[in-house]
Structure 1
């Protein structure tokens, strides 16, 4: 294990622990006031991931890799627990045991997928079993394209219906990302034959263009919400949250593109 392992681990933990912390808050805000046990559990997870975030920021690139490996195991356990909590909440919603609550089933499924992604990434880092580049390109894009499509749907449903133009833009983004996701899954089912450098390069380029457009739309929506210039029930932190996830996807696309370029040049 090396400095690269330490920095990659800290990057994942710092980003996703904040995301998990915010998921806890969003779930809590969507529960009914008499769902006291669920609210208590959400508050506990908020505190757990806030502490993980704090501790991760105290580590540096010089930290002993063995210390980070143990930290990753601890965070993996926390991510597994919040995943189970989210799936429990989803089950309650789908069995009509939380009537009148405000957490969409798709949103709860969405945030549970992110928790599962996070715990798997920590497992991969600790065992050194990261996907080969061609698989990583397809797998990361399949995961994040679905996340982006979901975001567009949530934004459209949380805007006030009278914000007709923004609602229509959200629907268009939802459609576009559904189509990109279908394309990614087609590429996925055609592998390994589909994993040529030209196809993967075009795949990344096309997705980058669409993600930048969605990122810019989210940025505008975030600014409008923060300045109270549009009507919605979107929490300002949620607007910032989905914007950061689009930024994260763009960083990953750039990293994958850079690695693909080096591989083809070598």
Structure 2
């Protein structure tokens, strides 16, 4: 399998990771906007073009880092506001898109997390390992459970075995998300040490997320071979696998990026 999460985990690489995530969200969303919604599509394409230009700068490590972070934060904030507006219209049945509202909310949460990371970068703040493990788990485990629900949404109902496997994995990650939330209140601040119960949970999440990344890439290969019937956007599974890789890497390293 040729895939790997090969972004450099330096400051430019972190910015590039989050820009690429939001950029791809915009590209996926563009595919699901009805041709009746010309203005919505036009604005989304403008957002995508802006994010793509800044992402290329980050990928090539061009320009001043502070300026790049500020531009990234501004572009992603604008994309977030656009998605919020679209989600509000979808809730009022005033717009025609095939993107589920839950998926729009998912993209908004990642946009918000992007800017939380940029704010942390600008402040130069440090996050304790235990705080980082809990934060990354609470945020990303919900995203992982979402991913599986969205994969099921795109899979054709005739894929009975795949549908069953995805459902089981969804339930697993929903339980892990609930456990992360429980530990977030059970283990109170200041979290100056890594308690054994949290470390055991971290190792469990790392193992399960590695398996999830592998499954996403196996499904990606099936889709690219036209061996799984699906309406999933091209390269969606690589996008999801990259985020799974990001989660277990952060947990292994005890950092928030």
More helix by share: 1
Are 2:122 and 1:126 equivalent residues in the alignment?
A: yes
- 1:130 deviation in Å? 3.8
1:207 maps to which residue?
205
> RMSD value over aligned CA atoms?
1.9
Which TM-score applies when normalising by structure 1? Answer: 0.88
Q: Deviations over 1:85-113 (max 9, x none)?
A: 111111111111124x2101111000110
Structure 2 distance, partners of 1:57, 1:205, is 31
**8 Å contact kept, 1:86–1:112:** yes
Unaligned runs of 5+ in 1: 1-5, 260-266
Are 2:36 and 1:37 equivalent residues in the alignment?
A: no
Are 2:25 and 1:14 equivalent residues in the alignment?
A: no
Structure 2 distance, partners of 1:216, 1:21, is 23
Structure 2 distance, partners of 1:8, 1:188, is 28
**8 Å contact kept, 2:213–2:241:** yes
1:91 maps to which residue?
88
Are 2:173 and 1:177 equivalent residues in the alignment?
A: yes
Unaligned runs of 5+ in 2: 1-7
More divergent stretch after superposition (126-135 vs 87-96): 126-135
1:221 maps to which residue?
219
List structure 1 segments (4+ residues) > 6 angstroms apart after TM superposition. Answer: none
Structure 2 distance, partners of 1:131, 1:103, is 35
Residue among 151, 154, 165 paired with 2:161:
165
Structure 2 distance, partners of 1:7, 1:250, is 14
- 1:175 deviation in Å? 0.4
5 Å matches for 1:52-71? 52-59=54-61, 67-71=64-68
**8 Å contact kept, 1:222–1:239:** yes
**8 Å contact kept, 2:183–2:198:** no
- 1:131 deviation in Å? 2.7
Structure 1 distance, partners of 2:245, 2:53, is 24
